[in-house]
Amino acid sequence: MEQYQFSYQLVEGVDALSSSDASLLRSAQAATALAYAPYSGFNVGAAALLANGAVVQGTNQENASYPVGICAERVLLGNVAMQYPGQAIVAMAISYRSVKRSSDQPISPCGMCRQALVEFEHRTAAPIRLILGGESGQVMIVDSAKLLLPFAFSPRELNGR
């Protein structure tokens, strides 16, 4: 039997993070105020630290035609690609605020966003460190988005390399 395993880090809270990680998570928390999520009441905020030191945010943008809505992570990737073409993302923090539950534990990106994150890693040849946390509670750190998507479909599959 083959096995896939990966390691991640659990940190007690935002105050136990390095100052750079803590400020990125705080930026993601603050970004939730800019989400447009009237249908789910689930505001997601993401913030990315780029290789050039810039920080870019993204939030989920919903639509009355529900499937048209787009997640915070993919809004963020589009923002980065447009504002800083070619720049790698060193780390991305993801947070949320919900009308239905307390924001006291990490959430991790949906399957579609994992696919998009993995492609961005390929495109810039750099892993994206994920910092996942709510407004309070433990913070989860994953060293690369690709760890969350084993056997991902990638550009390599298209040309057999």
Query: Which residues lie near ligand THU (CB under 6 A)?
Result: 37, 40, 42, 44, 60, 62, 69, 71-73, 107, 109-110, 113
Residues 52/84, Cβ–Cβ less than 8 Å: yes
Residues 30/77, Cβ–Cβ less than 8 Å: no
Supply the minimum distance, in Å, between the C-beta of residue 35 and ligand THU. 8
Measured distance between the N- and C-terminal CA atoms of the chain, rounded to whole angstroms: 25
Supply the minimum distance, in Å, between the C-beta of residue 149 and ligand THU. 13
The residue (of 60 and 87) whose beta carbon lies closer to ligand THU is: 60
Residue 108 Cα to chain centre, angstroms: 7
Supply the minimum distance, in Å, between the C-beta of residue 158 and ligand THU. 26
Residues 40/56, Cβ–Cβ less than 8 Å: no
Choice among 73, 119, 121, 157 that is catalytic: 73
The residue (of 3 and 58) whose beta carbon lies closer to ligand THU is: 58
The residue (of 16 and 110) whose beta carbon lies closer to ligand THU is: 110
Supply the minimum distance, in Å, between the C-beta of residue 23 and ligand THU. 21
Spatial separation of the C-alpha atoms in residues 18 and 87, rounded to whole Å: 23
CA distances from 148 to 56, 65, 101, 110 (A): 22, 29, 24, 10
Bridge partner residues of 42 (DSSP): 98
The residue (of 21 and 62) whose beta carbon lies closer to ligand THU is: 62
157 is catalytic: no
Catalytic machinery residues:
73
